């Protein structure tokens, strides 16, 4: 190790975020993240290939591209950014920040960036870390260096929790909360190539298994009734793959037993989901019990689905008020109006419905018995049944909003590296 190299690593140690280089054997497997590496040198390409074949990477969706920062900026102008970008650049310290600007403009704020550079420059290192870059490593890096950098971001106990959880619940039974949750889980996994887990919390009656045409033997019941066994490995065995990036933690949907839960019963499930995938979508049944309240209190986002009648309005108002109290430091739950415009049904107009709720709906989904009926009966999602339908577009918009991706692709005004700043 050169003296200057030592300086950079020493600075990282002082900052308390040095990668724990060396001990591959003790490294825990990486969770279901997406990683895209842009390699300028053959050497890094080979290192990334070796990473790809490591057992700790088996859940990682890894892409390796020969190219540099410009190639990355180009690619992500039209496609969503992954959880982690590894970027090799020969840019010198004076030019590096400027070189990153076009990428910053198209980078989702949740995406982490690790840079492999060619300059042992402590000032540059500090400046990059200040600007939200997760790690700066100096070429040539080893496979252990790369794996340790990824583990420091996504595995370490003091790393930021990986996953965001989004709960969908109906203001009344049968308003389409599950249908919306399933279509959004599918949309999020598909549109952003983000590993997503859909957990069906409606144990006796859940329909996620039917909606995705699956019949798994195990699922959420095994998880909730065996909290002492529940870790990432056990969870893996309970998941069923629905599509390339979507896994299902299915409900038993059987009435061979009664399903009563303690208030905190689902907490271990939420914890393991959060450690296992960047996004978890929870299909919460229309209940107001200790356990549903504590699930709704614990998740990152709540989405209330309502149909436009008086009972829905009253319930949505009560739910919004109760959830604002339960989550005083979070933004209010999102509202979706569904099954709007059912023929012959007297309805409350959207603005009249939303005025007392003091919130605007993030989507208004029309009643469309044909489209939803066909999708439900064929075990497919709306975007698979009719990708051109405006309702498929609405689900895409909801997927963007609930994952905070709305501002994606809009260059931020102001500071150069504004979008890379996430400290």
Starting at the edge strand found earlier in the chain, the sheet holding 61-66 runs 61-66, 34-39, 84-88, 112-117, 135-138
Considering only residues 159 to 188 of the shown chain, the ones binding Mg ion according to CB under 5 A are 178
Among 22, 161, 173, 349, binds ligand ATP (CB under 6 A): 173
Tokens representing residue 18 in the block: 């040095």
Residue with Cβ nearer Mg ion (151 or 177): 177
What φ, ψ does residue 222 adopt, rounded to 5°? -60, -35
We find the least distance from the C-beta atom of residue 316 to ligand ATP, in angstroms, to be: 13
We find the least distance from the C-beta atom of residue 128 to ligand ATP, in angstroms, to be: 46
Give yes or no for residue 82 binding ligand ATP (CB under 6 A): no
- Which residues, other chains included, contact 269 with Cβ-Cβ below 8 Å and sequence gap of 6+? 199, 220, 223, 224, 227, 230, 249
Residue with Cβ nearer ligand ATP (118 or 205): 205
We find the least distance from the C-beta atom of residue 61 to Mg ion, in angstroms, to be: 29
For Mg ion, which residue has the nearest CB?
178
* Binding at 176: pick from ligand ATP, Mg ion, none (beta carbon under 5-8 Å per type): ligand ATP
Residue with Cβ nearer Mg ion (35 or 337): 337
Site track for ligand ATP across 280-299, x = CB under 6 A: -----xx-------------
What φ, ψ does residue 160 adopt, rounded to 5°? -55, 140
We find the least distance from the C-beta atom of residue 354 to ligand ATP, in angstroms, to be: 17
Helices 93-106 and 69-76: crossing angle, nearest 10°? 10
What φ, ψ does residue 197 adopt, rounded to 5°? -115, 125
DSSP alpha helix (H) spans, 251-302: 267-276, 290-298
CB-count burial class (<10 Å; 0-12, 13-18, 19+) for 172: middle
Is the C-alpha dihedral spanning 93, 97, 99, 100 positive or negative?
positive
Among 140, 174, 263, 349, binds ligand ATP (CB under 6 A): 174
Query: Terminus-to-terminus CA distance in the chain, angstroms?
Result: 29
We find the least distance from the C-beta atom of residue 195 to Mg ion, in angstroms, to be: 23
Residue with Cβ nearer Mg ion (176 or 361): 176
Give the interface segment with ligand ATP, choosing from 79-87, 368-376, 401-409, 414-422 (CB under 6 A): 368-376
Give the interface segment with ligand ATP, choosing from 27-35, 42-50, 347-355, 365-373 (CB under 6 A): 365-373
Among 65, 120, 207, 267, binds ligand ATP (CB under 6 A): 207
DSSP alpha helix (H) spans, 1-77: 3-15, 42-52, 69-76
Residue with Cβ nearer ligand ATP (216 or 366): 366
Site track for Mg ion across 403-422, x = CB under 5 A: --------------------
Give yes or no for residue 175 binding ligand ATP (CB under 6 A): yes
In a 13 Å sphere around the CA of 7, the CA atoms on its Cβ side amount to: 11
* Binding at 368: pick from ligand ATP, Mg ion, none (beta carbon under 5-8 Å per type): ligand ATP
Tokens representing residue 269 in the block: 């499930």
**Tally of CB atoms within 10 A around 216:** 16
The residue count for binding ligand ATP (CB under 6 A) is 20
- Which residues, other chains included, contact 245 with Cβ-Cβ below 8 Å and sequence gap of 6+? 61, 189, 190, 193, 194, 195, 196
Considering only residues 300 to 359 of the shown chain, the ones binding ligand ATP according to CB under 6 A are 338-339
Give yes or no for residue 385 binding ligand ATP (CB under 6 A): no
Cα–Cα distance, 193 to 181 (Å, whole number): 17
Whats the size of the chain, residue-wise?
423
Considering only residues 124 to 153 of the shown chain, the ones binding ligand ATP according to CB under 6 A are none
DSSP 57: G
Give yes or no for residue 183 binding ligand ATP (CB under 6 A): no
Rg for the chain, CA atoms, rounded: 23
Tokens representing residue 293 in the block: 């309240």
Residue with Cβ nearer ligand ATP (86 or 307): 307
Q: Are the C-beta atoms of residues 175 and 339 closer than 8 Å to each other?
A: yes
We find the least distance from the C-beta atom of residue 377 to ligand ATP, in angstroms, to be: 9
Residue with Cβ nearer ligand ATP (30 or 381): 381
Contact positions toward ligand ATP, by CB under 6 A? 170, 173-179, 202, 207, 285-286, 338-339, 365, 367-369, 372, 376
Contact positions toward Mg ion, by CB under 5 A? 178
């Amino acid at each position: 190790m050169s003296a200057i190299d030592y300086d950079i690593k020493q600075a990282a140690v002082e900052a308390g975020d040095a990668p724990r280089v060396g001990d591959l054997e003790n490294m825990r497997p990486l969770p279901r993240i997406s990683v895209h590496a842009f390699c300028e040198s053959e050497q890094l390409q080979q290192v990334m290939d070796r990473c790809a074949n490591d057992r700790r990477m088996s859940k990682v969706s890894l892409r390796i591209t020969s190219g540099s920062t410009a190639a990355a900026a180009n690619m992500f102008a039209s496609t969503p950014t992954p959880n982690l970008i590894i970027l090799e650049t020969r840019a010198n310290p004076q030019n590096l920040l400027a070189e990153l600007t076009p990428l910053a403009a198209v980078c989702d704020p949740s995406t982490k960036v690790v840079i492999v550079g060619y300059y042992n420059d402590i000032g540059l290192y500090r400046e990059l870390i200040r600007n939200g870059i997760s790690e700066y490593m100096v070429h040539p890096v080893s496979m252990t260096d790369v794996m340790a950098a990824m583990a420091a971001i996504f595995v370490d106990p003091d790393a930021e929790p990986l996953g965001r959880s989004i709960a969908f619940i109906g203001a009344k039974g049968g308003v389409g909360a599950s249908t919306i949750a399933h279509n959004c889980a599918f949309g999020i996994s598909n549109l952003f190539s983000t590993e997503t887990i859909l957990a069906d919390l409606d144990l006796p009656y859940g329909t996620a298994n039917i909606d995705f045409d699956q019949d798994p033997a195990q699922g959420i019941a095994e998880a909730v009734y065996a909290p002492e066994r529940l870790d990432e490995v056990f969870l893996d065995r309970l998941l069923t793959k629905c599509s390339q990036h979507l896994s299902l933690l299915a409900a038993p949907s059987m009435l061979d037993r009664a399903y009563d839960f303690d208030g905190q019963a689902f907490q271990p499930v939420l914890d393991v989901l959060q450690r296992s995938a960047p996004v978890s979508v929870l299909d919460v049944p229309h209940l107001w019990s200790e356990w549903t309240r504590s699930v709704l209190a614990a998740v990152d986002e709540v989405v209330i689905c309502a149909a436009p009648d008086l009972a829905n309005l009253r319930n949505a108002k009560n739910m919004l008020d109760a959830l604002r109290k339960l989550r005083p430091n979070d933004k209010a739950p999102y509202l979706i109006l569904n099954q709007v415009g059912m023929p012959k049904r007297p309805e409350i107009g959207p603005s009249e419905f939303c005025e007392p709720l003091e919130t605007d709906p993030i989507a208004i989904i029309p009643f469309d018995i044909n489209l939803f009926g066909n999708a439900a009966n064929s075990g497919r999602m709306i975007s698979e049944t009719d990708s051109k339908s405006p309702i498929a577009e609405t689900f895409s918009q909801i997927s963007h909003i609930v994952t905070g991706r709305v501002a994606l692709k809009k260059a931020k005004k102001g500071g150069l590296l504004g979008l890379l700043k996430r400290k």
